[in-house]
Amino acid sequence: MLIAVWLSAQKETFVAVNDVSFTISTDRVEYGVQEHIAVKYQIVNVSNGALYVPRGFEATACLERGSPHIRGGFENDAGRHFYGGYGISCGGTPGAAPPTVTQRMGGAAVLLHPGGHPDGVLRLDPSMFRLPPGAYRIGAVLDGWKDTDFSDAERLELEKMGNPFIRGEAPASTPINLIGAVR
C-alpha cells in the first residue's frame, strides 16, 4: 500500500514577537526631574527569515487605529506605573478613498532581514507626572499587530506582502535615578 502525503508550505501572516529582540538604553543613569529623557530602542530580527516590525509612533499614528506599537513610561520602587497617553490629529483629502491595508502597512511597518535592526528614540518627560527624585525603572513595550484586528480580506491582502508581521508584546527596561536638579 502506498500512502501519499501532501504538505502545504503555507506562510504565516503573523509570527510571534520572540522572532525579534527589543532593547532600550539611555545615555546616562541620572536625570533631573524636569529633564526630558531620550530612550533609545533597537529591534533586531533574530529569526532566520525576513519579517515586518512596527515603525515608531510618529510614522504610524495616522496610518493605524489603536495605541502606539512602541511606548514607554516609568515605574517607581513601589511598583507604580506612570505611562502617558497619546493623541494625534490627522488630516485627509475629502472624497479620497481610504488607503488599502497594504498601503497602510507599507507605511506602518519596516521589513527586517535576519540581523537587521531599526533604531529609534522614545522621548519621556518625568515632569509630566510630577515624579519626585528617586530610583525608577524605564519600561518600554514593543507591541506587534493583532491578527484579529484585520478582516479575512485584509489578512489575505497582507499575505501578498510576502513576509510575516510580528504579533505579541516584547518588554524592555533600564534603571535610572531622578534627581532634584540637573548636575
Backbone phi, then psi, for 121, in 5-degree steps?
A: -135, 130
Low-confidence ranges of the chain (pLDDT < 50): 1-10
Q: Considering its fold, how many domains does the chain have in total? A: 1
Backbone phi, then psi, for 47, in 5-degree steps?
A: -90, 180
Which of 28, 33, 43 is closest to 109 using CA atoms? 43
pTM for this model (two decimals): 0.83
For position 100, what pLDDT does the model report?
82
Write out the three cell numbers for 6: 501532501
Q: 89 in a domain, yes or no?
A: no
Q: 161 in a domain, yes or no?
A: yes
Q: What is the CATH number of the domain that holds 152?
A: 2.60.40.3880
Q: 1 in a domain, yes or no?
A: no
Domain that holds residue 113: 14-82+96-179
d(CA 141, CA 69): 8
Q: 8 in a domain, yes or no?
A: no
Per-residue pLDDT reduced to its tens digit, 125-171: 999 999 999 999 999 999 999 888 889 999 999 999 999 999 999 99
Which of 182, 91, 104 is closest to 149 using CA atoms? 104
For position 9, what pLDDT does the model report?
43
The H or E element containing residue 54 is strand 51-54
